[in-house]
Structure 1
Amino acid sequence: MELMDLTLAQAAQNIQNKKVSPVELVQACLQRIEQYDDQLKTFITVQAESAMQVAKASEAMLMAGHKLGLLHGIPIGLKDNLAVNECRTTAGSKVLANWVPNYDATVSARLRSAGAIFMGKLNMHEFAWGGTSDNPHYGAVRNPWNPSRFAAGSSGGSGAAVAAGMCLGAIGTDTGGSIRLPAAINGITGLRPTYGRVSNHGVIPLAWSMDTVGPMARTAEDCAMMFQTFAGYDRNDPVSARASTEDYLAQLSRSVKGLRIGVVPNYFFHHLQQPVHDAVKQALQVYESLGAEIVEVDIKNIHGNISAQLTIESAEPSTYHQRWLRERPNDYGEDVRLLLEMGEMLLATQYLQAQRYRSLLKAEFMDAFRKVDVFICPTLPFTATEVGAMKVVIENGIEEDMLAAIMQFTGVPSLTGLPSLNVPCGFDPDGMPIGMQIIGKPFDEAKLFNVGAAYQEVTDHHRRRPELEVSA
């Protein structure tokens, strides 16, 4: 098996058994970056020298019988809004183009302690405020399945780098869908954890009341392995939850027989491109064949989620960026500057009504969880569009605004603070990936990994790899 065809879990096992060397893995990743990243624009900063130094040290430790943790010797990429000590951290912006932190974000530190090797900082939508990763400062991230298509965002570099085999796992951040969207569009697995489950310390914020950090990798097992190393309370983050963590890997192989899967038929399967509709419906049939039960649920007020999300996700970033926006407006890309300016025009009453709606929507979902164990819906209603597109056609030939359309399903967990996992579930006629979203109860990420792994055990969508062309 080619090194870059290994899943993160397989690579970790091979490293432990001394069948694969951390040095070999890092060299293979660096070779992929050199071959393909000029075209795909997944990295902002490549830490080639330091990655090789750490890989050699990791190998020496293993030969001496020492293992740091679950990720010992595993090449990982980090979205460029997480602080990494002595590494340029730009948040995909010109404003922070030269910022070099003198500390690690909590997630960065915990990954490092678990033995991960940092390959570099990944490209993203500027300041994470957008869903395309069409970055005016560092280049538009392109989809490995078809470089003329977008990689989604804001963690587009993370999604594309994993799909292209430039790292075995990546860290993304998710406010309105920024882990799940690029995971779906690039054909990988990605988790938005429960709000407060993972520390945001050292992460440049977008919207404080919705920001989360999560893993992106090829499989649910890979994501569980990464998540095991950095989930949990952090006293440096004031909104970090004191909820106990679990052994996420131990529960992966549990049967899903008797699992109650909730669907909201008048929302989850409304306003979709046909291939997306069909792929998710077929995925539900797979679960039924495994013994799960599909339960139709009515969430009375679900239709207001996009408006509420856009209100909150406009007001809070504009608050954070207020000073820079006045002092350095021309250093922002036009799309982000416009969104930040619009956010300052919102009324306090609009923001507060959106927050009230969040409480209502969460209460409705918590009530529904008495009847179901998880919900399953599409991750987004369409597949990858052309790079640079600001509009999308979902049905009836009507063009729609990309930002609102892309959040149709991801906004629900974002507003309610619920955990959700994207799992690849098919491809459209053009060969572009389709993802489904599994939504769980608060702090029940173990169930999401279990449900995702059960599907991946009997399907092969997550095993397929894009055919890449060497950059000219």
Structure 2
Amino acid sequence: MSETDAMSGTDATGPGDLAELTVAQAGALLRSGEITSVQLAEHALGLIEAHDAALNSFVLVTRDQALERARQADRELRGGLDRGPLHGIPYALKDIFDAEGLPTTNQSWLTVSDVAAGDSAVEERLRAGGGVLLGKLATYEFAMGGPSPDLPFPPARNPWNTEHIPSGSSSGAGVAVAAGFLRVAFGSDTAGSMRGPAFHCGTVGLKPTYGLVSGHGATPLSPTMDHFGPLGWTVADTAAALQAVAGPDPRDPRTRDAPAPDYLGGLTGDVKGLRVAYSSAWYAHDPETLPEITEGIERALAHLEGLGAIVEECKLPAYELFNACGRIVMAAEGFATHERNLREEPRKFGRITYQKLLPGAGVGAADLLRAMELRRRLIEALDQRVFADHDVLVTACGQTTAARFDAFPLDWPPPRLANDMQTIPFALTGHPAMSLPLGFAGNGLPIGVQLVGPRFGEAGLFRAGTALEAEFGRRGTRPALTTGAPDDRHATA
């Protein structure tokens, strides 16, 4: 397939195609009896079987279990039991989340055979909400490494052009949603691991407020920066997915002891009076930023203002402060999390993961304390300079389109990669942040924008995102997929 053909995309056929039904559309048809959950699951499984050989988004497909859960959902819905917005809807989990009886491989030889004794909090809530688990999704090793060839499963590939990476580490989630296998998937974000795949694959990716979604039963990387949440094909799909998993969990002390608000009630696209901040200093004058991305952000701001939002420029602390601080915290915590295996079984790590984790050994207590103090001041600066007077901050998510696989280094650290993300600041501060597609660059690959809100301000992000999606979303366009014979790159259960 030529590069042009691979990126040309196809127009979706509309609601008649089961893959193109939104969560709300599918839910309405499930409740009316016009379709069944079994039909949705079988259709999704058929797409995965036909096309995932070229994309590697799944590492495990739970076909039999999925169909049984779909049959149960159909029985319950026919009987009048409604468990919520994802009842009967297929989804999948990044392979760092435990699901009872299934392996949690973390894409690592160290844990490739580990079988979960119970459900993670995310899976527990999705199961209780009647969702239909289709399987486990590709990730970078321990949500940290890269698209490395020395791991148990091949790396996921960008569906818009398989010669390009989908970004990571929630790579399989971004690919599966963009390809139309799923409406929603669930991943983690420690420095941009959901927003990166969303940006590079043209989906919506939400890093919720720190502590909004429980991390119980999810493999940790950097406990004070780990976030857990959804990727979706639309803003409304993503809001429905967050509704299903958000809320307190006594097993995770990071969670807030308060119920999640209604995220679905405000998806009207009305942004009149919404206070929107932006600061072009982070991206507009950086030569690494594609002009198309800067222009896209400017169009988004103009559109919001035209709809009645109040758009104002603000002054942010230097991006480099956030980046350096976040890298120190993540390095120290990542090394501490994996120290035992790094010392006892270093050769079982993938090459890139080992090289990325090991520098954390050199972060001393004084370094970490200084970073934590800087982190406090940066959080304070955002709260006072931006979110005291604004509902949403609009900024860049990534600076370029997805890199080619052959441009990705086998050793770390690399020269500056031409797909640098600007996501780590809000993983460091804990503010909610969402990657939203804005269309495509001249090379046919997706570009987008990042929306950031005050803590627990996800509803404002959905409000602004709905308005922008209506103008720029191109939700009717899908990547052209290759049909290939199934192989043994992932298991079927």
> CA shift at 1:123, angstroms?
0.4
Segments of 5+ residues of structure 2 without an aligned counterpart are 1-15, 486-493
Maintained 8 Å contact 1:264/1:297: yes
Q: Residue 138 in 1 paired to residue 153 in 2?
A: yes
Residue in 1 that maps onto 2:65: 50
Maintained 8 Å contact 2:207/2:229: yes
Q: Residue 20 in 1 paired to residue 41 in 2?
A: no
Range moving further from structure 2, 142-151 or 301-310:
301-310
**Among 245, 264, 284, the residue aligned to 2:301:** 284
The two structures, once aligned, show a CA RMSD in angstroms of 1.7
Residue in 1 that maps onto 2:4: none
> CA shift at 1:254, angstroms?
5.7
Maintained 8 Å contact 2:59/2:153: yes
**Among 111, 119, 137, the residue aligned to 2:134:** 119
Cα distance in 1 between the residues matched to 2:350 and 2:416: 18
Cα distance in 1 between the residues matched to 2:218 and 2:104: 10
Q: Residue 182 in 1 paired to residue 200 in 2?
A: no
**Among 64, 77, 90, the residue aligned to 1:62:** 77
> CA shift at 1:374, angstroms?
0.9
> CA shift at 1:328, angstroms?
1.4
Q: Residue 100 in 1 paired to residue 118 in 2?
A: no
**One-letter code aligned to 2:264:** L
Residue in 1 that maps onto 2:220: 205
Maintained 8 Å contact 1:133/1:141: no
Count of aligned residue pairs for this structure pair: 463
Residue in 2 that maps onto 1:458: 471
CA deviations 1:285-306 (Å, max 9, x no partner) are 2212211232111123443111
**One-letter code aligned to 2:402:** A
Maintained 8 Å contact 1:14/1:20: yes
Residue in 2 that maps onto 1:468: 481
Segments of 5+ residues of structure 1 without an aligned counterpart are 392-398
> Where do residues 141-290 of structure 1 align in structure 2 (5 Å cutoff)?
141-253=156-268, 255-271=270-286, 272-290=289-307
> CA shift at 1:276, angstroms?
1.5
Cα distance in 2 between the residues matched to 1:130 and 1:462: 31
How does the TM-score come out when normalised to structure 1? 0.94
**One-letter code aligned to 1:15:** L
Maintained 8 Å contact 2:227/2:427: no
CA gap of 1:290–1:43, structure 2 versus 1, over 3 A, is same
Cα distance in 2 between the residues matched to 1:333 and 1:7: 38
Residue in 2 that maps onto 1:406: 420
> SS of the residue aligned with 1:137?
coil
Q: Residue 11 in 1 paired to residue 26 in 2?
A: yes
**Among 349, 353, 375, the residue aligned to 2:366:** 349
Maintained 8 Å contact 2:146/2:353: no
Cα distance in 1 between the residues matched to 2:405 and 2:120: 31
> CA shift at 1:132, angstroms?
5.0
Q: What percent identity do the matched residue pairs reach?
A: 35
> CA shift at 1:67, angstroms?
2.4
Maintained 8 Å contact 1:374/1:441: yes
Residue in 1 that maps onto 2:408: 390
Range moving further from structure 2, 264-273 or 167-176:
264-273
Cα distance in 2 between the residues matched to 1:136 and 1:113: 33
> CA shift at 1:57, angstroms?
1.9
Structure with greater contact order relative to length (CA < 8 Å, sep ≥ 6): 2
Residue in 1 that maps onto 2:382: 365
CA gap of 1:278–1:301, structure 2 versus 1, over 3 A, is closer
**One-letter code aligned to 2:233:** R
**Among 335, 340, 363, the residue aligned to 1:318:** 335
CA deviations 1:313-350 (Å, max 9, x no partner) are 11111101011112211111100011111111222222
CA gap of 1:151–1:308, structure 2 versus 1, over 3 A, is same
**Among 377, 383, 399, the residue aligned to 1:381:** 399
Range moving further from structure 2, 369-378 or 43-52:
369-378
**One-letter code aligned to 1:90:** T
**One-letter code aligned to 1:167:** L
Cα distance in 1 between the residues matched to 2:24 and 2:146: 29
> CA shift at 1:260, angstroms?
1.9
Residue in 2 that maps onto 1:395: none
Cα distance in 1 between the residues matched to 2:268 and 2:209: 22
Maintained 8 Å contact 1:151/1:159: yes
